[in-house]
Structure 1
Amino acid sequence: MTDTPIGGEVLVVANSRSGASLGRPDRVPDVRRRMPGATVRELGESETLDDVVADAMAGENPPSVLAILGGDGSVSRAAHLARRHDLTLLVLPNGTFNHFARSVGIPDVDAGLDAYAAANVRPVAVAEASVDDGEPITVLNAVSLGAYPEFLAERERRTSLGKWWGGAVAAWREMHGAHAVDVVRGGRRASVWSVFAGVGPNDPDRIATMQRATLDEPVIDVRVHHARGTRARAIASLAFGEKTVAVLRALRVMPPASDIERILDEDFEIEVRAGSAPDIWVHDGELEEVGEDGFRLRVRAVGDGLRVYLPAR
């Protein structure tokens, strides 16, 4: 009897489009070398991650581990599918920011492969976001509505410029055209620039909580930026880098604490009034479109909602 090759229980899905835009080297050969028994699928132009995983689960030897080589959007969708099919998630980060991967201590592909070799699996908290009565979507980091979805939509219209220049142009345009959003929560109406609902408690001084700070606590940390200041403050509040936030605070561009409402809850729900803003919202950097008649957004914390490979302690 021969030993099972390393990685025999793993399905690796590589989204090469995540790293290609950054000029990064192809890491698929490294994955094949470190996990020679794994099934490796490189996502084609017309394929979806959902289809690839569904096909694998319907085969004779379905995987017990789903490894994703890609950016934040791919990792988030893989987490959703891992939960749907009761798989353990292995993160092999290859995107722009890699928010969740950094939160779990996996800064690059090699660290992810090391985590698999160490066999250290741990459950982490996630969130489920749903619009109206739609199917819940797994969220690893944060959900947002208002200024941030508008910024992302504007940046995506300028993909030919690259993310940095496209983002700069989008920020400039949003400083002149950002929309306040009319929302209702618990019977109270408000006009807000943005709402961020992050997974787990985060830095109380942050507004744009795009990267989670903890792994275990099943709570939703909400930041509501009330529309009392200028559009420039609305855009400045989207900064999430520690150094950038510090500089903007020193320049007194960031909104004052009195404009920010923080809510900690296990289950957060908010209604966006019809006609008050573009019909979009964001989860883990992925844009979602909804109807033009307003919508109800619910974000619910789920403790131990996902099994993930983490670095050896």
Structure 2
Amino acid sequence: MSTSSGFSFPGRWRATFHQRDLAVFQRVADRHWPGAEPVLPRLSRSANHGLLWFGAAAGMAALGSSARSRRAALRGIASLAVASAAINTVGKGAVRRERPIVDLVPVMRQLKRQPFTTSFPSGHAASAAAFATGVALESKGWGAVVAPVAAAVAASRVYTGVHYPSDVVAGAALGIGAAFALRGVVPTRGQLPPPGRPPADAPALTAGEDLVVVVNRESGSATAAAAVIRDALPLASTVECAPADLPGCLEKAARQGKALGVCGGDGTVNMAAAVAATHGVPLAVFPGGTLNHFAYDLGIETVHDTVTALTSGDAVRVDLGRFRPGPQGPEGADGYFLNAFSLGVYPELVRTRERWAPRIGGWPAGVLAAFEALRGSRPLTAEVQGRERPLWLLFVGNGLFRRVGPAPGRRHNLADGLLDVRAVHGGRTPGLRLLAAAIAGPLTRSPVHAAVRRRKVRLSGLTPGTPYAYDGEVASSGTELTIDKLPEALTVYCPMPA
């Protein structure tokens, strides 16, 4: 019986290495592993083409209650893709090693379909290690859940007789390296510098005493979050309101307590921020919406993050974006935004998404809305700072949005006194122009895209009724708009970085 390894390495080292590798392989084949026979072959097959890991990522994104879970799932899949590319382009071709002789393994362990690619390194082990490492870099909790499954998949490749132990070790090392290589290009949330946060004085509200929390019962995960708030802050008063009743509930809550709490999405938090700034009370934000951009940019990802800040009295000051006239329209009334204000295709996208979301779900509705907005829109015409131009999009961010890898990321400083202004000029190809603007990033200029920082933006020459969006809400403009900021106008509870 031949035991040739097929290695291209010359000489004695090759023979010695293969003998030791084969000895370990045979010990695994000869040993009885209680409970492994019905599990490991099935687990090995389920990981073919990464299907197991794609399913795991989908489950993490669906079951996880925070953005950390979604980031972990995305980073796991991205790390797997990098590892797979390295295996297929370099690994398999560098060392053309034959597979082990399958007759050495009991028939009950053998896979029905034997792989036909070279043995070194193990692609399954690389994918498993890359996915588990990528997940763990974003979320230690999910990493602890995934790691045993990844280890079992790697072990199953030796158990079923399709790889030598060194194939699996090399594949796992390559997968771990791929995850860390990706982190070098696209930093994890923990690698980013802590946001600039001017500290603010706020009362420490142990157990939520003198805190009134207004919950939008129709926002994302707000109802579930409300139950967690009641358990964590037993002395807080929690009021659940319908969207139409939110303004009155927020006004009443701001007058009753030492701080105003809010649980909902960005639109709900927007209303609460305006009320808190008007009454001069600190705001406690409990993420309960779909995206929770403002909370995440402050480092608040869970209800317990806010609870920790409340208990210790940790708070910061942030800028409040302002536009005039506001959404109600009367002369002198102001509108506010915490994240961004925009005109062009985005407001139409929001309207379409809100119309379809109750029927088909949020993400499918977003894809459909983007398709319809790009297909049917025409560029709007407006005078920006006194200069008339056609625009597909005008984006005004409350603070500079920094890049995380190839995509716009978090804001480093929510009290920088500046507006992040980005314009996508009109043309025949809105999709390509918007994509080019996204790739170009902040503080750039091109024939299709301009990005600058300003303290104030003046718009005129608008068609009355032009839709605009602010923190996910949509309203209609008159002929003119002025956008600026109220520096450090809002005090928000948030955990301090270690």
TM-score, with structure 1 as normaliser: 0.82
Please name the residue that 1:242 is paired with.
none
Letter in 1 for 2:266: D
Please name the residue that 2:273 is paired with.
79
1:266 aligns with 2:455: yes
Residue among 190, 197, 217 paired with 1:16: 217
- Structure 1 runs (4+) deviating above 6 angstroms are 204-210
Change (3 A) 1:207 1:228: farther
Contact residue 437 and residue 448 of structure 2 kept, 8 A:
no
Letter in 2 for 1:55: K
Contact residue 386 and residue 460 of structure 2 kept, 8 A:
no
Please name the residue that 2:297 is paired with.
103
More deviation in 69-78 or 202-211? 202-211
More deviation in 160-169 or 99-108? 160-169
Compare CA radii of gyration and give the structure with the larger one.
2
Contact residue 151 and residue 171 of structure 1 kept, 8 A:
yes
Residue 141 of structure 1 deviates from its aligned partner by 1.0
Please name the residue that 1:302 is paired with.
486
Letter in 1 for 2:219: S
Residue among 277, 283, 286 paired with 1:92: 286
Per-residue CA shift, 1:68-124, capped at 9, x if unaligned?
111111111111110111110111001111100111000121212122122101111
Residue 208 of structure 1 deviates from its aligned partner by 9.7
Aligned partners of 2:437, 2:302: CA distance in 1, in Å? Answer: 25
Unaligned runs of 5+ in 2: 1-204
Report the RMSD for the aligned CA atoms in angstroms. Answer: 2.9
Residue 5 of structure 1 deviates from its aligned partner by 6.7
Residue 211 of structure 1 deviates from its aligned partner by 5.7
Change (3 A) 1:207 1:145: farther
Aligned partners of 2:274, 2:290: CA distance in 1, in Å? Answer: 20
Residue among 375, 378, 398 paired with 1:179: 378
Aligned partners of 1:79, 1:142: CA distance in 2, in Å? Answer: 14
Change (3 A) 1:194 1:210: farther
Letter in 1 for 2:420: D
Aligned partners of 2:268, 2:320: CA distance in 1, in Å? Answer: 16
Please name the residue that 1:285 is paired with.
472
Residue 138 of structure 1 deviates from its aligned partner by 2.1
1:311 aligns with 2:498: no
Aligned partners of 1:99, 1:46: CA distance in 2, in Å? Answer: 22
Written as runs of structure 1 = structure 2, the 5 A alignment for 1:1-313 is 6-20=207-221, 26-44=224-242, 46-47=244-245, 49-57=246-254, 62-131=256-325, 133-159=331-357, 160-203=359-402, 212-233=411-432, 236=435, 257-274=446-463, 279-290=466-477, 294-313=478-497
Per-residue CA shift, 1:237-256, capped at 9, x if unaligned?
696xxxxx69xx9xxxxx99
Aligned partners of 1:227, 1:46: CA distance in 2, in Å? Answer: 37
Change (3 A) 1:158 1:134: farther
Contact residue 92 and residue 109 of structure 1 kept, 8 A:
yes
Aligned partners of 1:183, 1:206: CA distance in 2, in Å? Answer: 32
Aligned partners of 2:402, 2:490: CA distance in 1, in Å? Answer: 23
Identity of aligned residues (%): 28
Higher share of residues assigned strand: 1
Change (3 A) 1:208 1:75: farther
Unaligned runs of 5+ in 1: 240-244, 250-254
Aligned partners of 2:288, 2:308: CA distance in 1, in Å? Answer: 15
Residue 146 of structure 1 deviates from its aligned partner by 0.4
Higher share of residues assigned helix: 2
Higher relative contact order (CA 8 A, sep 6+): 1
Partner SS for 2:238: strand
Aligned partners of 1:70, 1:283: CA distance in 2, in Å? Answer: 16
Per-residue CA shift, 1:257-298, capped at 9, x if unaligned?
4311223221111124327xx6210111111124xxx52121
Contact residue 18 and residue 94 of structure 1 kept, 8 A:
yes
Aligned partners of 2:227, 2:404: CA distance in 1, in Å? Answer: 42
